[in-house]
Amino acid sequence: MNIYVLLKRTFDTEERLTVSNGGINEEGAEFIINPYDEYAVEEAIQLKEAHGGEITVVTVGSEEAEKELRTALAMGADKAVLINTEDDIENGDQFTTAKILAEYLKDKDADIILGGNVAIDGGSGQVGPRVAELLNIPYVTTITKLTIEGEKATIVRDVEGDSEVIETSLPLLVTAQQGLNEPRYPSLPGIMKAKKKPLEELELDDLDLEEDDVEAKTKTLEIYLPPKKEAGRVLQGDLDQQVKELVAALRNEAKVI
C-alpha cells in the first residue's frame, strides 16, 4: 500500500505564545507536529502494519520543519519530503499549500492520503479537501475509524454529536479526528533509525511551479489577542430597577443597543 501523510509544523499551544506587530512572535516559541496530524501518522503506521507498503510524510514550509519530519520517521514512517518554500513564498495560505501538495502528489499513485482534520494554529480544515479536489479523488473528513479491505474503505466520521458510516473506494484522502487512535511515542531505536531514513528536500522549481501559480487567495491583516475579560456585575434592587440598570449598561457602556 502506497501511503502518504500530510504533516504541518505548528506552534505548541500548551506553551505561552506572545503576539507582536500583528503576528505571533516565533522567537522562543516551541514547535511540534500538528496534533491532528499525529493521528494521521499513527493511522498510516497501523495501515502499513496491517497491509504492508510504504509511508511517506510530506510537509510544506521551511528547513525548521525537518525536526517534525524526523519525529514522524522515528514513529515509523519510511520516508519524508520537505517542500521548502522559505525563499519563494512570503505569505501563503490554504490554497498555496494545497496547490503545492497536489502538484507533488499528482503522479505518486497514492492508495491513501492522510492528514489532520485541522491545524491548531489556523483551524481552517481546508488543505486536505482542497488537495483531494485537485487530485480528483474521494475524501472524507473528521474520521474516527478506518477499515480497508482490498480496494474498499469503510469509514466512521464524527458529525455534530453523532457518527456517520461511509463506504468508498481507493485512492482516497481522509482527515483524522481526535479519537481515531492514540499516537505512539518514538522509541529510542526508532529515533536512531530515523537519522538514516531518507529525507528529500524540494523547491517550487522541482515541481515546475512558479510563485504566481501558488499566490495566496487570502490575506491575514492582523493577529491579536481577545480583550481581557472584565469581572461580572451583580444588579441590585427589585426587578424593575435591575432591568433599567441593565438597559443603561448595554446602551452606555457596552454600546450594543
Average of per-residue pLDDT across 165-171: 96
The pLDDT mean for the chain works out to: 92
Residue 217 pLDDT: 92
Average of per-residue pLDDT across 41-56: 97
Higher-scoring residue by pLDDT: 6, 232: 6
Whether 24 has a pLDDT exceeding 80, the answer reads no
Average of per-residue pLDDT across 177-197: 94
Whether 33 has a pLDDT exceeding 70, the answer reads yes
Residue 6 pLDDT: 98
91 pLDDT band (50/70/90 cuts)? Answer: confident
Residue 15 pLDDT: 74
Residue 131 pLDDT: 97
Cis peptide before 189 (omega within 30 of 0): no
Residue 233 pLDDT: 82
Residue 22 pLDDT: 65
Higher-scoring residue by pLDDT: 232, 43: 43
